[in-house]
Structure 1
Amino acid sequence: MSHTDQEIIENTQIWLEKAVIGLNLCPFAKAPHVKGQIRIAVSHAKHLDAFLEDIDAELQKLLTTPAEELETTLLVHPDLFDDFLQFNDMLDLADRAITDNQADGVIQIAPFHPEFQFDGTEADDISNYTNRSPYPTLHLIREDSIEKAAQAFPDPAVIFERNMNLLREMGHDGWDKLGIPHVSGCPVAHNREKN
């Protein structure tokens, strides 16, 4: 079922507000959200090359826009990466786009996917939900934002552990009651792990 851009943005907003901010999975997300500094961009690329061009365009937008206007971007593609492993394989190319756009040390990319799965976990393990979003999503985040967040939370592992404990307490029933299309957490709180 295809969604309109407005539906995609609204579902992403629900996830952001109820899971990421509402449950404080990412303690750094509330301020830019309240200030209207989070951009949700929807890609309609038909193939990988076109999606990489969309990544380039969003990186350039971040690089040329002051952080006071645009702090971070969520680049969402509703249907190009249904398969999580295919999405995971694309991440190396996305990271290469950072270098190609001279954004090393300036911007990082964090991945979110409806079927996100950490290495060594079962598909239905609740811990995977820290990186689950309604649609395949790349979070383009400024390194300065990560550094500022690190001052408040010098040990990101504490956030990750807190999130794991919260998820285990809530369980799948707890998530279902929240009415979140899918859930995710904080890109700063842990390193990407590949399957």
Structure 2
Amino acid sequence: MPIDSYHGELPLGSDVRWISIQVVVERMIERLRSGDDAAAALEEYLTSGRLRCKAHHRLTGTRRLLPTSIWETVTPQWYGPKYGVQTIYRRPTEGTWQQLIENLYIWQPDFDALWSPGAGTPPIAPQSNPAPTPIMSAQAWFKQALKNHPRQPGEELGDYAKRLYPLMLAAPEVKKPWAFKSLRRRLDD
């Protein structure tokens, strides 16, 4: 369910609260130290509806709020520091991938609620009486997560990894989380 950080219709014009998807990924990379991991976490936030996104067509100038369902065929991919994140889509008839000709923007209040500036990890829900959190290895957390968050029937391993990865990043007990590729590889074991 999307975050209700703005009540009413979202403005689709040039409101300063819309920030470029490139800026969002750069902020995520500062913490995650990996463009691939940032793109995977961004995709999880977009598919779950926790980040709202608008598209601004480069040729026609039209703007539209993107529905969550679009992320079934559209995916952000990391192409390195020179090109940043590019958003590509799967052409249903041909099965090929093509780059969107739209600039994408993220609603900043949603992003700030998930990824507040200056925090060491994505924010977690505050506890009323916080107790010291025991530190555990990523491997121990992973074993526990497999029990607490089992794979859903029919869920592909890649989708399962995309669901688990943001949980690992947000887990305060994991001192050094794995890279997304490491978590995905461990699911094959």
Bin for the TM-score computed over the shorter chain: under 0.3
TM-score under structure 1 length normalisation: 0.27
More contact order relative to length (CA 8 Å, sep ≥ 6) = 1
TM-score (norm 2): 0.28
Question: Which structure carries more strand by proportion?
Answer: 2
Where is the helix percentage greater, Structure 1 or Structure 2?
A: 1
